[in-house]
Amino acid sequence: MSSDDFAHLDAVGTAETIRTGQASCQEVFDAAVARLERFNPEINAVIHPNIDQARDSLNSLPDGPFRGVPFLIKDLWACEAGRPHHQGVQALRRAGVNATETSHLVERYRAAGFVSLGRTNTPELGAGATTEPLAYGPTRNPWDRERGAGGSSGGSAAAVAAGIVPVANASDGGGSIRIPAAMCGLVGLKPSRGRVPMGPHLDEWGQSVQHVVCHTIRDSAAILDATAGPMPGDGVVAPPPLVRYLDVIAQPGARLRIGVLDTAIRSGTAIDPEVAEAVRSTAQLLEELGHHVTFDAPPALLDEARIMSWGPAFVAGTAASVEAIEQEVGHPLGDDDIEPWTRFIADRAASITPASVIHAQRSMMTFRRDLAAWWAGGFDLLLTATCLRPAPRLGEMAPDNEDLMAVQTTTLHYSQLTQPFNVTGQPALSLPLAETRDGLPIGVQFVAAYAREDQLLQLGAELERFQGWSERRSPLRDTNR
């Protein structure tokens, strides 16, 4: 098998190739390194290669379900003791900060047998819908290298779309798995709050969760099987599934009641006509498959004033992150240590009262309960666009763009339909179900009730059988074959 042959396998298929003796761990590893060296200079996805240490680990891999499968880890919340942990922040890069502990999730990746080739690019503090940090430069989209790969898991998504690895770690605090998946033509599942451990340095009660970006539903399901479940002291624990997710996707699914939203929900923004058509075409396909589809959405999701009321909590969180970085590097952060938007938000914290933060948290709590009532009232899933637009051109949302407010308006076109479900903690899945006339991927999002990843994965498997997106590959691969 050639390097390109391996590149067309998903993680489950790669593991099977090794397990059955069709290829060795060394052969799979060498092929992935060759692809990394060939493609990464063009897309800037992997910023901290770890080739020598990864090669040394091949003779002592645990006998997990993904033994020998090449992997990448996002340089944000998933820490590896002794490895760089810069979170897209210039001050942390200059200080050469390495993590002092290994995340519980990384321990599970290792137990599953994954071999990490390095860490991937991310915007500063994972806070952007594009991966263009000043610390490491922009990640380019393998479908069009003049466009962004999304954020904040853009490095991971670009690496998978380019074929460097079949799957990579990603995290999602406001759409950061789903947005890059949509822009790069991948599957991106944001699990439920408390499904995957965030310790030991983060709490499960926050808005961010972790999983992967990949090509196939079976990869997303099998990796969730390998990594889900609590660790001692976890703050939120999602109810365990009745059966393995990999078994769920092999079963015929029930006919579902699905609500559809094909519009924007924030003022000053509009959905691209091709994206809206992708949502409506998906709704029609679902009806043809026997599902009950109606244009309906939770009323609270359409209440813009309510969504904007969460702002003080976001401002306070950013200020706390900046303060933590200052403690880590041992000095106050200057203007060249963090990006302008981060500085702008952190400075606003001085005008935020403790009471306003509590009120924002209460607003998020009532929003969570009101949305849950819509699902409890008889709906199984909500169908929306993942992003209102296809991938942006590089620079549109770059942190050195002088018009910061215009950048934030552009960002709303990518995050407004993803971020609410980080507040509620519900699972959401972006699928690459359409393309623009110019060949750019369009992601379509499904949202389930809390802890119902099984419904998302089962429907995803049904749609994958009809659409066959996992056979489509980015032009970057074809031009370099």
Q: What CATH number is given to the structural domain containing 263?
A: 3.90.1300.10
Q: Is 24 a catalytic residue?
A: no
Tens-place pLDDT, residues 426-463: 999 999 999 999 999 999 999 999 999 999 999 999 99
Region 230-259 average pLDDT? 95
Mean per-residue pLDDT, 82-101? 96
- How many domains is the chain partitioned into structurally? 1
Evaluate if residue 98 carries a pLDDT over 80.
Answer: yes
Active site (annotated) includes residue 176: yes
Q: Which residue has the tokens 């996002």?
A: 74
Q: Which of 74, 156, 192, 430 does the annotation list as catalytic?
A: 74
Let me know: does 205 contact 235? Beta carbons within 8 Å. yes
- Average pLDDT for the chain: 95
Query: Rounded CA gap, 139 and 145, in Å?
Result: 9
**Residues 6 or more apart from 399 whose CB is under 8 A from it?**
123, 124, 128, 132, 133, 134, 339, 340, 341
Q: Is the dihedral of CA 306, 312, 316, 319 positive or negative?
A: positive
**Residue type present at position 256:** L
* Closest residue by Cα to residue 157 from 129, 134, 192: 129
186-205 residue pLDDT tens:
999 999 999 999 999 898 99
How confident is the model over 319-360, as pLDDT tens digits? 999 999 999 999 999 999 999 999 999 999 999 999 999 999
Report the share of the chain in percent with pLDDT over 70: 99
**Structure tokens, 300:** 């609270």
Give, in degrees to the nearest 5, the angle at Cα 352 between 348 and 356.
145
Reported as a single tens digit per residue, the pLDDT across 31-44 is 999 999 999 999 99
Kindly report the three-state secondary structure assignment for every residue of the chain.
CCHHHHHCCCHHHHHHHHHCCCCCHHHHHHHHHHHHHHHHHHHCCEEEECHHHHHHHHHHCCCCCCCCCEEEEECCCCCCCCCECCCCCHHHHHHCCECCCCCHHHHHHHHHCCEEEEEECCCHHHCCCCCCCCCCCCCEECCEEEEECCCCCHHHHHHHHCCCCCEEEEEECCCCCHHHHHHHCCEEEECCCCCCCCCCCCCCCCCCEEEEEECCHHHHHHHHHHHCCCCCCCCCCCCCCCCCHHHHCCCCCCCCEEEECCCCCCCCCCCCHHHHHHHHHHHHHHHHCCCEEECCCCHHHHCHHHHHCCHHHHHHHHHHHHHHHHHHHCCCCCCCCCCHHHHHHHHHHHHCCHHHHHHHHHHHHHHHHHHHHHHHCCCCEEEEECCCCCCCECCCCCCCCCCHHHHHHHHHHHHCCCCHHHHHCCCEEEEEEEECCCCCEEEEEEEECCCCHHHHHHHHHHHHHHHCHHHCCCHHHHHCC
Per-residue model confidence (pLDDT) at position 16: 98
Q: Which domain holds residue 102?
A: 3-479
Q: For residue 477, what pLDDT band results from cuts at 50, 70 and 90?
A: low
Annotated catalytic residue within 103, 153, 171, 176: 176
- Beta carbons within 8 Å of 460's beta carbon, 6+ residues apart: 187, 217, 220, 249, 429, 431, 446
Give the percent of the chain with pLDDT over 90.
Answer: 92
- pLDDT for 480: 44
Burial (0-12, 13-18, 19+ Cβ within 10 Å), 401? middle
Give the C-alpha separation, 433 to 19, whole Å.
32
For 264-277, the pLDDT digits (tens) are 999 999 999 999 99
Q: pLDDT tens-digit profile of 366-379? A: 999 999 999 999 99
| Torsion sign (Cα): 154, 158, 164, 167 | positive
Model pLDDT, residue 478? 53
Catalytic residue among 152, 171, 321, 430: 152
CA distance 198 to 448: 21
pLDDT of residue 476: 84
The confidence score (pLDDT) of residue 481 equals: 41
pLDDT digits (tens, 9 = 90+) for 57-77: 999 999 999 999 999 999 999
Phi, psi of 108, rounded to the nearest 5 degrees: -70, -35
- Cβ atoms of 137 and 230 closer than 8 Å: no
Active site residue 321: no
Contact 296, 259 (CB under 8 A): yes
Residue 405: is its pLDDT beyond 90? Answer: no
Tell me the pLDDT tens digit for each residue of 132-156.
Answer: 999 999 999 999 999 999 999 999 9
